[in-house]
Structure 1
Amino acid sequence: MRSSITFKLFLAILATCIVVALAMGMAVRYSFDSGFDDYIRERENQRLDSLAQALAVDYAEAGGWGFLAGSGDRWGRSLRLSRYGRPGGEHEHERDRDGGPPPGPPLRVTLLDADGGWLAGPRVRPGAELMRHPVTVEGRSVGWLLSPAPMPMVVNDEIDRRFQARQLRATWVIVGLSVLLAALVSLLLARLLLVPVRRLALATRRLADGDFDIRVRVGAPDELGRLARDFNRLAHSLARNARLRRELMADVSHELRTPLAVLRGEIEALQDGLRVPDEAALASLAHEIGRLNRLVDDLHELSLADAGALDYRMQPLDLSALAARALDAVRERYARAGLALDQDIEPGLRLSGDERRLEQLLANLLENSLRYTDSPGRVRLRLGRRDGRIVLELADTAPAVAPDQLPRLFDRLYRVESSRSRLHGGSGLGLAICRSIVQAHGGGISAAPSDLGGLAIRVEWPPAEARAADAAGGADSLRATDEE
């Protein structure tokens, strides 16, 4: 449990909430203490002001401070009036029965005359911190009231002390309840936030066990939602790759089985004396061995392309001249097959690429059209520049390819069985090799219906500036030490 993400996330959120609650509690406590000290000082000033007003009235009536010298009770009376109101007022009932002040700490107030001479109250100690309040009669100061300044966090009044204690208890009770609430919220958040993570963890284990059909529910469009979508794409890609691998193995085994079965039958016939080892029998054996050799070579070529080990030596070359030579090489074979070969090649088109691989690309495309175009027929090769891109298009006449089968033409060992079948002798890997070569040169290849009634293969390369930048940055990474 301690090593789980839920527990760690719970502790992290809880610790953060506790720190915040304690900080808020201390801030509230500091604010209360500061405000309470100001409240005590303000109340003391109000008491001194009330006493100063009472003494000013007595001073005006007596014409001086002589009323204090005749009777000490006048000073106590002034103190009572300043704290609880004048006789007959709304606070009169708060006095003691004998006329004295009610129980509680008395005011420690000293009265000085205008010259600083002592008149009443306790004597002032030298150096004591005092609050000074003037006694004003008709706009002039006739005396001074001195009171000890309230000490911070020191409360003398019992009611104030009880209020302060209640506030302190309330503060820490609130902090404790906040911590408990934080613990509950942290636990809920830790569990809720990790629900998608647990789903992803379970799905990952099943994916690692080979269940490529597993998918996770995509929740909110946040980081976890994007992670779930990426996981689903990964599972889909793995499922597709597993399916393609099974199909590839089945197709390869089928392709190998056919020439091997023919070879075995031919050899057994020769061994049993059913066939004479003449030129025709040897030619048949050589033909099947050639099919096997081409299939193995094509598979080896694709395996090198998948591993990034194909040897590409990029250099500037004349693509127009390269296409013309490729057409000249197959023109006689096209004529024997009853196919007309048209060309529309823009001269001087230059490309940074590997000459040997581009020759292989053109040869494979032309071989594909030669094998799968009915006679009499027509094949047209166009090469030119469109919107700054170099475009090569090879179109042929019937038979056509169904639109839903066009995207799969570049898959390995895929054939359109109805017309472009194994009877034509291909391995089904030529277009897959073409796609690998085109992609290595930074281009794209696609298939579409031809305006001649058959199939059109379209190859596009990016503008010259982009090709030059790609060639300069990635030529070394495309080279390999393997040589065919």
Structure 2
Amino acid sequence: MTKSGLANKITASFIIVSVLAVIATSLIMLLMTRQQFSTYIDNYNQVMLDQWAPIISDYYSQYGSSGLQEYLQANTTGSGNATGRRRHGSMPMGMGIRQGQRLIVADANNIVVADTQGLLTGQPAKLDSLHLSSRELLIDNQPRATLYIISPLGSGLSSLENQFVARLTINTVILAIFIGLIALILGLVLGKRISSPLAALSTAIHQLANGQLDERLSLQGDREFMELGRDFNLMAQKLDDVEKNRRRLTADISHELRTPLTFLRGQLEGMQTGSIPLDVENIALLQDEVIRLSHLVKELDNLSLVENRAVSLNLSRFPLSELLEHLTPVSLAMQDKGISYSIDIDSAITEIYADRDRLLQILLNLLSNAMQHVEQGGQVTLSIKQHRNHLQFAVADNGRGIPPENLPHVFERFYRVDDSRNRREGGMGLGLAIARGYVEAQQGKIWVESSTGCGTVFYFTLPQE
């Protein structure tokens, strides 16, 4: 959706909703007004019945239906001759009917004997009107006739009432136009305010999809758009990091494979030509390179298991001494480098509940990482402490530490604080990522604390229940 298209739709929506709201409100007001007028007419008819019923009953008891037609016309509309008025007298002062109202009198046989409009006289009283009020006329306490007052809505409304409804309709149209103009202005302003950030986001997404991973957004305005911009930048940064890691992985694997393969190829070619003697020492060198390649493949396989959450666990209780025994090669390697290695374990800990092989791999990775970052004469300490229902492991060193900006990334795959040093020492940046995966697979937590020049401590916990 283009920027202008979205803005136009928002503007149109504002106009439609606003105009419909005005029309709906006006229709409700119109209906309520007409209902009030209708109720007023019905009430007025009842008042008229109260006034006319005794007069016509009195007339009917004295004269019957004879002359009633002329009497009503003479005393209500002023039409017809004055015979009825002179013969039977006039109605009391103040009596009368409103314009459009109609009086009809039907006898006991439902035959119209009087009609102020003179249309139904002598015919059966088949009346159908929107506003019809009636009352039986009692003569000597016997129903002898029926008085009807008809007030059709259209004609029953006075001219003032009709003018009010007409003005209300006109004002509704004017108000709808006015509200529509306001909605148009608001729609244009808000449409631009909403569509501009979305258009910028759409452009940035297209650029990101085309491989421009350095694209970033700076959305201003409402808090939601600012958060959207931050989320986009975070996503773009992660994609950029993934791409850099992918390139680094390609370079690392190429480097790690090229060196041993080149060495193996050279050694084997030399043995074939006889320039390199086929003895135990040279075969041992070939075996070391094969072991190095096997270790690389194993690390990549372990990383794949961790990332796919497919790590299989064999949880059991085993003696602490068994774990420490398997760590002996690392302590010997540290001694060879002139690094002091110590152990600090609570005396109450004799058994550990965990996957032994995974735990051993975690500790080997952390200790190897510490050994790589400690100079000769440095110190590495392994501690295990009991904390209620879990054990806390810690691997501490007094090496050069990790810069604060690198701390959030140390557990990411292929991440290395010092590329040149780790590559020279054979590290690919997989050990800590694998360690984190193994810890989390056993429902534990792992974290790091470090400061430049003051050493580093890696902590992790494992539940014991």
| Aligned equivalent of 2:243 | 242
| Aligned equivalent of 1:221 | 223
Gaps spanning 5+ residues in structure 2: where?
50-81, 105-114, 136-146
Indicate the SS of the match to 2:460.
strand
Distance of 1:225 and 1:369 partners within structure 2: 41
| Aligned equivalent of 1:59 | none
Distance of 1:271 and 1:30 partners within structure 2: 107
Once the two structures are superposed, the pairs formed by residues 192-211 of structure 1 within 5 Å of their partners are 192-211=193-212
2:10/2:191 contact within 8 Å kept? yes
TM normalised by structure 1 equals: 0.63
1:393/1:458 contact within 8 Å kept? yes
Task: Indicate how the Cα distance of structure 1 residues 452 and 46 shifts in structure 2: closer, same or farther if over 3 A, else same.
Answer: closer
Alignment of 1:167 with 2:195, yes or no, is: no
Indicate the SS of the match to 1:390.
strand
Alignment of 1:381 with 2:388, yes or no, is: no
Deviations for 1:78-107, whole angstroms, at most 9, x for unmatched residues? 97x999xxxxxxxxxxxxxxxxxxxx9699
Task: Indicate how the Cα distance of structure 1 residues 17 and 234 shifts in structure 2: closer, same or farther if over 3 A, else same.
Answer: same
Question: Which residue identity is paired with 1:20?
Answer: A
Gaps spanning 5+ residues in structure 1: where?
49-67, 84-103, 111-120, 133-146, 466-484
Offset, 1:253: 2.0
Superposed CA RMSD in Å reads: 5.1
1:214/1:235 contact within 8 Å kept? yes
Once the two structures are superposed, the pairs formed by residues 14-25 of structure 1 within 5 Å of their partners are 16-25=17-26
Task: Indicate how the Cα distance of structure 1 residues 443 and 452 shifts in structure 2: closer, same or farther if over 3 A, else same.
Answer: farther
1:408/1:414 contact within 8 Å kept? yes
Question: Which residue identity is paired with 2:166?
Answer: R
Question: Which residue identity is paired with 1:392?
Answer: F
Question: Which residue identity is paired with 1:320?
Answer: L
| Aligned equivalent of 1:151 | 151
Task: Indicate how the Cα distance of structure 1 residues 453 and 171 shifts in structure 2: closer, same or farther if over 3 A, else same.
Answer: closer
| Aligned equivalent of 1:306 | 307
Task: Indicate how the Cα distance of structure 1 residues 29 and 335 shifts in structure 2: closer, same or farther if over 3 A, else same.
Answer: closer
Offset, 1:384: 0.9
Indicate the SS of the match to 1:379.
strand
Task: Indicate how the Cα distance of structure 1 residues 228 and 151 shifts in structure 2: closer, same or farther if over 3 A, else same.
Answer: farther
Offset, 1:294: 1.6
Once the two structures are superposed, the pairs formed by residues 84-163 of structure 1 within 5 Å of their partners are 151-155=151-155, 159-160=159-160, 163=163
Question: Which residue identity is paired with 1:400?
Answer: R
Distance of 1:360 and 1:278 partners within structure 2: 34
Deviations for 1:200-230, whole angstroms, at most 9, x for unmatched residues? 33333322222222333154234x5544443
| Aligned equivalent of 1:281 | 282
Offset, 1:392: 0.7
2:103/2:150 contact within 8 Å kept? no
Question: Which residue identity is paired with 2:160?
Answer: D
| Aligned equivalent of 1:365 | 366
Question: Which residue identity is paired with 2:324?
Answer: A
Alignment of 1:344 with 2:344, yes or no, is: yes
| Aligned equivalent of 1:113 | none
| Aligned equivalent of 1:325 | 325
Task: Indicate how the Cα distance of structure 1 residues 160 and 208 shifts in structure 2: closer, same or farther if over 3 A, else same.
Answer: same
Distance of 2:133 and 2:451 partners within structure 1: 107
1:22/1:175 contact within 8 Å kept? no
TM normalised by structure 2 equals: 0.65
Identity over aligned pairs, percent: 29
2:444/2:460 contact within 8 Å kept? yes
Distance of 2:216 and 2:254 partners within structure 1: 32
Residue correspondences, number: 404
Question: Which residue identity is paired with 1:446?
Answer: W
Indicate the SS of the match to 1:391.
strand
1:218/1:229 contact within 8 Å kept? no
Indicate the SS of the match to 2:393.
strand
| Aligned equivalent of 1:390 | 391
Offset, 1:44: 9.5
Distance of 1:235 and 1:253 partners within structure 2: 27
| Aligned equivalent of 2:33 | 32
Deviations for 1:278-324, whole angstroms, at most 9, x for unmatched residues? 333333332223222222221222123222233x2242424734533
Deviations for 1:394-435, whole angstroms, at most 9, x for unmatched residues? 2345x4334345555444455565995455454543333222
